[in-house]
């Protein structure tokens, strides 16, 4: 199957400007259209290893990134995201066009994929067993996820854990990892060979940049994993890396607080969450040093 990187020179921009690029990111296909240079560059860099769907095929989401036709086109230019031709959000400064695409795609999946229990959580896998990392912003979740997937773990997702309602397994969504503020420089130093998008400043999240998903994780985007652990991470300066067990009932409620559609699914959501927690060992995890954190996670997984 053709990947973004295998497109002939000029074809990426031509497809985005024309009928659209059909991008396969796990269980979903996104049709993206845009002539904005930063979006073209960002997709080419961050999605180089991803397979493309047929140009006349089906897409789950239809997104366009455009510049609004108003006076701001020339003074303080903006970018507008259109989903199925409609704007779900207010415009943002043009410099934030590529992050807005990533945020918009997250919104599409989290608000519409109700054939899954969708958690706001990173998820990584080793030897077929997955660690789910539910956490609010600022907890160090994405930094920890980025370190793990460059040290022997497979990336399933940085933001959205997709739990199947029928069998409880987790479908991969290995898209670029979103990093913010101080974690950008930290991961650039720790991963000098990795690919990062240019930092974008003054967003609602501060300074943001994206880290390209490892190629082997993208190559396995059709391979689900079994949940084995739910770990609630929290970065705390100078704290030792420690795991503390969490009671199942408490873990259920805390994970539900990080679910996008738990209440929408009703009884299905409750049953899926109960099954997920029942089959997982649940922990609080506090850390400050990434090396210690990686060693602690390696102790979770027995040899295959």
Tell me: pLDDT of 262 over 80: yes
Quote the number of domains for the chain: 2
Answer whether residue 55 shows pLDDT above 90: no
How does pLDDT run across 240-260, given as a tens digit for each residue? 999 999 999 999 999 999 999
Are both 234 and 250 inside the same structural domain? yes
Task: Report, as an integer, the average pLDDT of 55-80.
Answer: 86
Q: Do 151 and 293 fall within a single domain? A: yes
Domain with 178 in it = 116-300
Mean pLDDT, residues 157-180 taken together: 97
pLDDT above 90 (res 302): no
78 and 191 co-located in one domain: no
Domain shared by 217 and 262, yes or no: yes
* Residue ending a domain, choose from 46, 77, 112: 112
101 and 122 inside one domain: no
Last residue of a domain, one of 93, 112, 131: 112
pLDDT on residue 72: 64
Give the pLDDT score at 303: 67
Q: Tell me, yes or no, whether 127 and 269 share the same domain.
A: yes
Please check whether residues 96 and 235 belong to one and the same domain.
no
3-state SS, the chain, equals CCEHHHCCCCHHHHHHHCCCEEEECCCCEEEEEECCHHHHHHHHHHCCCCEECCCCCCCCEEEEEECCCCHHHCCCCEEEEEECCECCCCCEEHHHHHHHHHHHHHHHHHHHCCCEEEEEEEEEEECCEEEEEECCCCCCHHHHHHHHHCCCCEEEECCEEEEECCCCCEECCCCCEEEECHHHHHHHHHCCCCCECCCEEEECCEEEEEECCCHHHHHCCCCCEEEEEEEEEEECCCCCCEEEECCHHHHHHHHHHCECCHHHHCHHHHHHHHHHHHCCEEEEEEECCHHHHHHHHHHHCCCC
Q: What is the mean pLDDT of residues 25-32?
A: 94
Average pLDDT, the chain: 94
Q: Are 152 and 234 within one domain?
A: yes
When pLDDT is averaged across residues 44-63 and rounded to a whole number, the result is 92
Residues 138 and 246 in one domain: yes
Q: Pick the range with the lowest mean pLDDT from 54-58, 201-205, 266-270.
A: 54-58
Residues 108 and 131 grouped into a single domain: no
This prediction has a pTM of 0.94
Pair 44, 25 in one domain: yes
Task: Determine what percent of the chain is predicted with pLDDT higher than 90.
Answer: 89
Residue 48 and residue 168 share a domain: no
**Final residue in a domain of this structure, among 59, 90, 112:** 112
């Amino acid at each position: 199957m053709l990947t973004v990187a295998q497109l002939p020179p000029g074809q990426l921009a031509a497809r985005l400007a024309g009928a659209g690029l059909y991008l396969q990111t796990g269980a979903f296909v996104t049709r993206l259209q845009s002539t904005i240079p930063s979006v073209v560059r960002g997709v080419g860099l961050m999605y180089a290893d991803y397979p493309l769907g047929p140009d006349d095929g089906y897409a789950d989401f239809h997104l366009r990134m455009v510049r609004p036709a108003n006076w701001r086109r020339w003074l303080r230019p903006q970018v507008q995201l259109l989903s199925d031709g409609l704007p779900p959000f207010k415009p943002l400064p043009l410099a934030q066009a590529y992050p807005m695409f990533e945020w918009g795609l997250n919104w599409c999946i989290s608000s519409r994929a109700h054939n899954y229990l969708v958690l706001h959580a990173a998820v990584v896998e080793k030897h077929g067993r997955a660690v789910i990392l539910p956490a609010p912003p600022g907890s160090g979740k994405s930094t920890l996820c980025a370190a793990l997937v460059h040290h022997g773990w497979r990336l399933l997702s940085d933001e959205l854990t997709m739990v199947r309602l029928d069998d409880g397994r987790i479908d991969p969504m290995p898209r670029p990892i979103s990093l913010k503020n101080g974690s950008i420089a930290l991961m650039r130093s720790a991963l000098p060979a990795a690919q990062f998008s240019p930092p974008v400043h003054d967003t609602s999240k501060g300074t943001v940049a994206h880290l390209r998903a490892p190629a082997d994780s993208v190559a396995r985007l059709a391979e689900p994993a079994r949940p084995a652990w739910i770990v609630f991470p929290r970065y705390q300066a100078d704290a030792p890396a420690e795991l503390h067990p969490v009671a199942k009932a408490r873990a259920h409620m805390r994970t539900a607080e990080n679910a996008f559609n738990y209440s929408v699914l009703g009884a299905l959501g409750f049953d899926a969450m109960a099954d997920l927690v029942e089959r997982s060992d649940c922990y609080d995890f506090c850390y400050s040093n990434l090396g210690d954190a990686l060693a602690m996670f390696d102790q979770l997984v027995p040899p295959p």
